[in-house]
C-alpha cells in the first residue's frame, strides 16, 4: 500500500493543531490513521441534474467506509446550461469549467486527501472534474448522477430539446398553446442530466470510455437503484485503486485518447467534446488536435442515433447494453485499444468480455451502421482556417452540400429575433459572430436559435454558422467553433449580408466565396466589446481559441 498522503496533516508533533481541528469534525484517532478520501459533491437545488446527488454522495461514502477509508465531503458549483441559455448567464457556463477544476485542486491540495471520488453530472462539471482528477493524479473515480428519463409531449416521448423546438412550432402555428404547456410540464419528468445524447450525457459516457469511471456511469438512469449501487461500488473501488496505487495518469494514455474519440464518434456525441476532451487530456500532458477528431471520425461508423439525431434516449441505450456494448462492437472491429487500463483495475478488453448489444436498432453493428462515418466532422476553408465543427449525423441530406447566403448578426439575441421574426428565408445562413471564447466572452451555446430554425420547419434549408458553440441538443446544419473567432480578427468578422458561403461537409469545406483581394480590402481591427463582468474580462484575457479547447493559455 502506498504512503498515506493525508499524514501531511495528521502525523507528527507539529501536526497536533491539525489533529485538534480534525477532532472538531468528529473524527476519532482511529479514523485519522486511515486513508482520508475527498468526496466532491456538486449537489444543489438549482440544476435538475444535480438535485439528487446528496443521495449518491451518501452511497459513495458508505462504500468508502465499507472498504476501510474515511470520507470527507466538500462541494463544487455547477451551471445548468438550459437555465442559462439565451441570456447573459450563458457567458458564465464554459468559464465555470476552469473554476470548478481549480476549486477541486485547491480543496484536495490544501487538505491532502489520499484519494477522491468526484460526483458531477452536467455539462461543465463533468469535464472540469476529469481535468482535476488528472491534474491532481491521486487515486480517483468519477461517478455521474446519471441521465434523466425521457418525458412526453402529447403521445410521443419528449425531452428538453423538444420544448426548445416547440417554441418555433408554436411561432408558426404548428403547435397550440395548450399542447405547448402540456409539453413544458411533462418533457422533463425528474432528476438527472437531460435525456438525449447532449453534452452532459456525452461527457459522462466519455468518462466511462476513457476509463476514469465505472461501466454504467454514462447510462444507468438517475432514478434507478442501480445508480445507488454503482455509487457504493465507486466508493469501494477507489479504495482498491488506493491500495494498488493506480492513479488517473496511469489510465489516461494515448490509447485512452483514441478510445474516447472513437466512442464519441460511434455515439454521435455533442460537438462540445471537441472543447472538453483536449482540455482534459492536456492535464495528462497529451495533445488532442481537431485533426484527431476528423481522422477517427472518417474510420469509425456511427452506431447510435440518439436524440437529437434520432428517437432513442439514454435509457434506451442503457437497456441495449450501454457503453460496454458500444465499446465491445468497436473492439471487435479493431477500433479500440483493448489493453488500456481502467478504474476497475482491469483492461478495456477484460471489462468487455461477454458484452454485446441487446437491441440492434439502438446499437447497430459495424456491418449495418447508421453511417459509415462518425458523428462529428471538422470543416476548414477561408472562413475557418483553424477549423469549425459540425455534428454531421444531425444534418439533413439537403444541407450536407449547399451554397447559402449570409445573414449576419453580432449577437445571439439579434439572430434569434430575426429567426422568430420571420426574416430568415430558405437558402440563408444565419452568421452569428463575436460569440467566441474571447469575443463573447464565454462562447455561449446557440440552442435557442438552432431550435427555432428546426421548430419553424427550416432545418433542411437554413444553416447557422458561428464562432460560438452549440448545445449537444442542437441539430441541423449548425456549424460552430469557427476559428479564429471574430474578436481575434478571424475571417468570420469580414462576412457581410448577402455573401455566398459554400458548405461541403463530405469534403470538409467551409468557404466564403470571395477572392482574397476583396477579403483584404475588408480587413480592419475587430471592434472592442468589453464585458461588464470583471471575471469575464479576466477570462477573455486568458482563454485560448476554440480550436485548441478554449483552455487557459499557459503563462
Q: Quote the longest CA-to-CA distance of the chain.
A: 76
- What residues act catalytically? 471
**SS3 category, 445:** strand
Note if the bond before 441 is cis, omega within 30 degrees. yes
Residue 282 has which C-alpha cell? 492536456
Residue that the C-alpha cell 439537403 belongs to: 398
Residues 448, 429: Cα–Cα separation, whole Å: 16
User: By the 8 A CB rule, do 200 and 123 touch?
Assistant: yes
Q: Which residues contact 73 (CB under 8 A, 6 or more apart)?
A: 38, 39, 40, 41, 57, 61
Task: Determine whether 426 is exposed, middle or buried from the number of CB atoms within 10 Å of its CB (0-12, 13-18, 19+).
Answer: exposed
Distance of CA 139 to the CA centre of its chain: 23
Q: Which residues contact 482 (CB under 8 A, 6 or more apart)?
A: 383, 384, 388, 433, 436, 465, 466, 467, 490, 492, 510, 546
| Listed residue (254, 263, 326, 338) closest to 300, CA to CA | 263
User: By the 8 A CB rule, do 437 and 413 touch?
Assistant: no
User: By the 8 A CB rule, do 215 and 208 touch?
Assistant: yes
Residues 380, 399: Cα–Cα separation, whole Å: 17
| Listed residue (527, 442, 382, 361) closest to 89, CA to CA | 442
User: By the 8 A CB rule, do 483 and 452 touch?
Assistant: no
Is beta strand 384-391 parallel, antiparallel or unpaired with respect to 376-381?
A: antiparallel
Residue 176 has which C-alpha cell? 397550440
Give the helix/strand (H/E) hosting 158: strand 156-158
Q: Which residues contact 462 (CB under 8 A, 6 or more apart)?
A: 404, 424, 425, 426, 427, 428, 429, 430, 453, 476, 477
**SS3 category, 219:** coil
| Listed residue (450, 429, 296, 461) closest to 374, CA to CA | 296
Residues 79, 228: Cα–Cα separation, whole Å: 23
Amino acid at each position: 500500500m502506498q504512503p498515506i498522503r493525508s499524514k501531511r496533516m495528521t502525523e507528527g508533533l507539529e501536526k497536533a493543531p491539525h489533529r485538534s481541528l480534525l477532532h472538531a469534525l468528529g473524527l476519532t484517532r482511529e479514523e485519522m490513521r486511515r486513508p482520508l478520501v475527498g468526496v466532491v459533491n456538486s449537489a444543489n437545488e438549482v440544476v435538475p441534474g444535480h438535485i439528487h446527488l446528496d443521495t449518491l454522495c451518501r452511497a459513495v461514502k458508505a462504500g468508502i467506509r465499507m472498504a476501510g477509508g474515511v470520507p470527507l465531503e466538500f462541494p463544487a458549483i455547477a451551471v445548468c446550461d438550459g437555465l442559462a441559455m439565451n441570456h447573459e448567464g450563458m457567458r458564465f457556463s464554459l468559464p465555470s469549467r476552469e473554476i470548478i477544476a481549480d476549486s477541486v485542486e485547491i480543496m484536495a491540495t490544501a487538505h491532502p486527501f489520499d484519494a477522491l471520488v468526484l460526483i458531477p453530472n452536467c455539462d461543465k462539471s463533468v469535464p472540469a472534474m476529469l481535468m482535476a482528477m488528472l491534474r491532481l493524479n491521486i487515486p480517483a473515480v468519477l461517478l455521474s448522477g446519471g441521465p434523466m428519463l425521457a418525458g412526453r409531449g402529447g403521445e410521443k416521448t419528449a425531452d428538453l430539446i423538444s420544448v426548445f423546438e416547440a417554441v418555433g412550432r408554436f411561432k408558426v402555428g404548428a403547435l397550440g398553446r395548450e399542447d405547448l404547456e402540456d409539453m413544458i410540464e411533462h418533457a422533463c419528468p425528474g432528476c438527472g442530466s437531460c435525456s438525449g445524447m447532449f453534452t452532459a450525457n456525452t461527457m459522462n459516457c466519455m468518462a466511462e470510455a476513457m476509463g476514469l469511471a465505472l461501466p454504467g456511469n454514462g447510462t444507468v438512469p438517475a432514478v434507478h437503484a442501480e445508480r445507488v449501487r454503482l455509487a457504493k461500488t465507486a466508493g469501494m473501488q477507489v479504495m482498491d485503486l488506493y491500495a494498488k496505487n493506480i492513479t488517473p495518469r496511469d489510465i489516461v494514455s494515448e490509447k485512452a485518447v483514441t478510445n474516447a474519440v472513437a466512442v464519441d464518434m460511434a455515439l454521435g456525441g455533442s460537438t462540445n467534446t471537441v472543447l472538453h476532451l483536449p482540455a482534459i487530456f492536456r492535464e495528462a500532458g497529451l495533445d488532442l488536435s481537431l485533426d484527431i477528431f476528423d481522422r477517427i471520425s472518417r474510420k469509425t461508423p456511427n452506431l447510435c442515433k440518439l436524440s437529437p439525431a434520432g428517437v432513442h434516449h439514454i435509457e434506451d441505450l442503457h437497456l441495449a447494453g450501454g457503453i460496454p456494448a458500444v465499446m465491445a462492437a468497436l473492439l471487435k472491429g479493431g477500433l479500440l485499444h483493448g489493453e488500456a487500463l481502467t478504474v476497475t483495475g482491469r483492461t478495456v478488453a477484460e471489462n468487455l468480455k461477454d458484452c454485446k448489444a441487446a437491441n440492434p436498432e439502438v446499437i447497430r453493428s459495424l456491418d449495418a451502421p447508421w453511417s459509415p462515418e462518425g458523428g462529428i466532422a471538422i470543416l476548414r476553408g477561408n472562413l475557418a482556417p483553424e477549423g469549425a465543427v459540425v455534428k454531421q449525423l444531425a444534418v439533413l441530406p439537403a444541407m450536407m452540400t449547399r451554397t447559402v447566403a449570409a445573414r449576419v448578426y453580432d449577437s445571439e439575441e439579434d439572430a434569434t429575433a430575426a429567426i422568430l421574426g420571420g426574416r430568415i428565408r430558405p437558402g440563408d445562413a444565419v452568421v452569428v459572430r463575436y460569440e467566441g471564447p474571447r469575443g463573447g466572452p464565454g462562447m455561449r451555446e446557440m440552442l435557442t436559435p438552432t431550435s427555432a430554425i428546426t421548430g419553424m420547419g427550416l432545418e433542411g434549408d437554413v444553416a447557422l454558422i458561428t464562432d460560438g458553440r452549440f448545445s449537444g441538443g442542437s441539430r441541423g446544419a449548425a456549424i460552430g467553433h469557427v476559428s479564429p473567432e471574430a474578436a481575434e480578427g478571424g475571417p468570420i468578422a469580414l462576412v457581410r449580408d448577402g455573401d455566398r458561403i459554400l458548405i461541403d461537409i463530405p469534403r470538409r469545406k467551409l468557404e466564403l466565396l470571395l477572392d482574397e483581394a476583396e477579403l483584404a480590402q475588408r480587413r480592419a481591427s475587430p471592434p472592442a466589446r468589453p464585458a461588464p463582468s470583471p471575471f469575464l474580462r479576466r477570462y477573455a484575457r486568458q482563454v485560448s481559441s476554440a480550436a485548441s479547447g478554449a483552455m487557459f493559455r499557459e503563462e
